[in-house]
């Protein structure tokens, strides 16, 4: 007998995209279950940046891509109020090299900013953040959760049967939000080929017990952001890497860059280094939406999972309900 017969939707994965999708679907009145093995995932190894201005400038994005990130940021206002996620709307700052280049890019993309050329500092209030631990807990509140790893999918009539390490689950529709992790067996060939396009990217961060800054400060090689009573230092972007063991040499370089960004002399700190693996698609945008037969994807946001969460959730929920997608640029079929 199945462990649980869902009336509606099973979400596979409890990272930010999976939980945002689950929360949005539940908010719309659907019966939702999430299956996830538990433990720390890549969404927890993050600073919780919701930063369209800085991300667009740093990556030199085009107008359409930057507009999509701005739209994703705006989606957070109502979504956070509905789910209990706390938003931090304090300023974000870039210090040091490339400040003038980044200021010019922000101006071209229409992001509000202030550039102090004499000090080499660029400030914007267009970028927000969340605290991942609080946000993940808020998103998971009142969501039915099965602790287990999804191993295989099969189609039984008009429903999906998902085998997990905790038992089997049946659902009318399934949302795959498995990040860069191992994918279940039995996926349709087209879906498997899409998932094969996702590249793993390892990110390393350091949780610091001391509060080194009261707002996000970025610069060449590192950022420092408030986190709880302390702060977080981040972050690397290591394509193709899957190890969850922090690399001492890379962490040491990142710490040195963080001190330079802050303009402070190095001193001993209590730091817990962490590593997480994210997924990225070939064009840097997530795959969000239907891929046929009641199967949906919410995958591959690169380093912008927290920024894109509510937008991806809305796209997936619209597809579940048969509504036209508001963001066709995220449709998985663009890679087919």
Residue 117, in any domain of the structure = no
**Averaged pLDDT of the chain:** 95
Among 236, 306, 233, 217, CA closest to 276: 236
Q: Are residues 273 and 295 in the same domain?
A: no
**DSSP at 117:** T
Tell me the CB-side half-sphere exposure of residue 55, using CA atoms within 13 A. Answer: 27
pLDDT of residue 5: 40
pLDDT of residue 181: 86
**pLDDT digits 0-9 by tens, 225-258:** 999 999 999 999 999 999 999 999 999 999 999 9
Q: Are residues 28 and 160 in the same domain?
A: yes
* Section 144-168 average pLDDT: 95
Residue 318, in any domain of the structure = yes
Residue 7 — very low, low, confident or very high, per pLDDT cuts 50/70/90?
low
Give me the CATH number covering residue 261.
Answer: 3.30.9.10
pLDDT of residue 6: 39
Q: Select from 243, 262, 279 the last residue of a domain.
A: 279
Residue 208, in any domain of the structure = yes
Q: Are residues 146 and 260 in the same domain?
A: no
Residue 250, in any domain of the structure = yes
Give residue 220's domain range. Answer: 199-279
* Section 76-83 average pLDDT: 98
Residue 287, in any domain of the structure = yes
* Section 186-194 average pLDDT: 96
pLDDT of residue 2: 45
Distance CA 208, CA 166 (A): 36
Q: Are residues 262 and 203 in the same domain?
A: yes
pLDDT of residue 156: 86
* Section 193-217 average pLDDT: 97
**pLDDT digits 0-9 by tens, 130-147:** 999 999 999 999 999 999
* Section 259-269 average pLDDT: 97
Widest CA span in the chain: 69
**pLDDT digits 0-9 by tens, 40-74:** 999 999 999 999 999 999 999 999 999 999 999 99
Residue 147, in any domain of the structure = yes
Q: Are residues 190 and 316 in the same domain?
A: yes
Q: Sign of torsion, CA 132 135 137 139?
A: negative
What global pTM score does this model have? 0.96
**pLDDT digits 0-9 by tens, 96-111:** 989 999 999 999 999 9
Q: Are residues 248 and 315 in the same domain?
A: no
Residue 298 CA, chain-centre distance (Å), reads 10
pLDDT of residue 81: 98
Q: Are residues 163 and 225 in the same domain?
A: no
* Section 294-317 average pLDDT: 97
Residue 167, in any domain of the structure = yes
Q: Are residues 204 and 268 in the same domain?
A: yes
Q: Are residues 257 and 307 in the same domain?
A: no
Residue 3 CA, chain-centre distance (Å), reads 29
Q: How many domains does the chain have?
A: 2
Residue 78, in any domain of the structure = no
Percentage of the chain beyond pLDDT 70 is 98
Give me the CATH number covering residue 303.
Answer: 3.50.50.60
Q: Are residues 275 and 286 in the same domain?
A: no
Write the CB contacts of 286 (distance below 8 Å, at least 6 apart in sequence): 17, 298, 299, 300, 301, 302, 308, 312, 330
pLDDT at 3 over 50: no
Distance CA 66, CA 55 (A): 8
Percentage of the chain beyond pLDDT 90 is 94
pLDDT at 4 over 50: no
Q: Are residues 193 and 286 in the same domain?
A: yes
Q: Are residues 191 and 140 in the same domain?
A: yes
């Amino acid at each position: 007998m199945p462990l649980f017969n869902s009336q509606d939707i099973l979400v596979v994965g409890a990272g930010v995209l999976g939980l945002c999708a689950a929360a949005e679907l539940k908010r719309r009145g659907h019966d939702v279950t999430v299956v996830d093995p538990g433990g720390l995932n890549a969404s927890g190894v993050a600073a919780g940046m919701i930063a369209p201005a800085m991300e667009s400038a740093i990556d030199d994005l085009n107008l359409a891509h930057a507009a999509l990130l701005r739209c994703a940021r705006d989606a957070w206002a109502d979504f956070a109020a509905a789910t209990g996620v706390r938003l931090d709307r304090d300023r974000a700052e870039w210090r040091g090299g490339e400040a003038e280049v980044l200021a010019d890019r922000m101006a071209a993309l229409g992001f509000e900013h202030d550039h102090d050329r004499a000090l080499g500092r660029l400030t914007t209030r267009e970028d927000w953040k969340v605290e991942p631990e609080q946000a993940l807990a808020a998103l998971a509140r009142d969501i039915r959760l099965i602790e287990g790893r999804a191993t295989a999918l099969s189609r039984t009539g008009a429903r999906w049967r998902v085998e997990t390490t905790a038992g089997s689950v049946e659902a009318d529709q399934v949302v795959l939000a498995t990040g860069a992790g191992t994918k279940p067996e039995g996926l349709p060939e087209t879906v498997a080929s899409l998932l094969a396009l996702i590249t793993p990217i390892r990110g390393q961060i350091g949780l610091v017990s001391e509060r080194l800054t009261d707002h996000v400060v970025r610069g060449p090689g590192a950022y420092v952001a408030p986190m709880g009573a302390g702060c977080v230092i981040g972050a690397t972007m290591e394509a193709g890497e899957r190890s969850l063991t922090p690399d001492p040499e890379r962490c040491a370089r990142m710490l040195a860059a963080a001190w330079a960004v802050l303009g402070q002399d190095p001193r001993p700190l209590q730091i817990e280094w962490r590593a997480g693996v994210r997924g990225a698609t070939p064009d840097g945008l997530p795959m969000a939406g239907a891929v046929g037969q009641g199967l949906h994807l919410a995958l591959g946001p690169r380093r912008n999972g927290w920024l894109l969460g509510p937008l991806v959730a809305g796209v997936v929920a619209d597809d579940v309900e048969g509504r036209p997608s508001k963001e066709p640029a995220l449709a998985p079929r663009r890679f087919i």
